[in-house]
Amino acid sequence: MLARKTVKNQITLPKEIADQFPGVEYFEVKMEDHRIILEPLRQARGYEVREKLSTLKISEADITDAVARARKGKK
């Protein structure tokens, strides 16, 4: 398979390769021995947690208050 670099330094992955990584939007790019290495990045679990907290309308202040209450109870 071939991929061509455009004048804007963009490379499109062949469909046969891209289909092997469903749901992956980002790849970490590094160079080893004059080769380009792409490693798929999946969204961090932290992102999922923040999204769930947002859905439940739980704010950062709510979490801070809960931690403070929990720490008071441990004394």
Q: What is the mean pLDDT of residues 59-68?
A: 92
Q: Give the range of the structural domain holding residue 13, as residue numbers without chain letter.
A: 1-42
- Which residues fall within 8 angstroms of residue 39, CB to CB, at 6 or more apart? 27, 28, 30
Kind and range of the H or E element at 27? strand 26-32
Work out the pLDDT band at 75, boundaries 50, 70, 90: low
Quote the CA–CA distance of 12 and 63 in Å, as a whole number. Answer: 42
Tokens of 16: 């046969």
Q: What is the mean pLDDT of residues 57-65?
A: 92
| Same structural domain, 31 and 4 | yes
Confidence at residue 43, expressed as pLDDT on a 0 to 100 scale: 66
| Same structural domain, 5 and 36 | yes
Collapsing DSSP to helix, strand or coil, 11 comes out as: strand
DSSP alpha helices (H): ranges in 1-75?
A: 15-18, 45-55, 60-73
Collapsing DSSP to helix, strand or coil, 18 comes out as: helix
| Same structural domain, 11 and 33 | yes
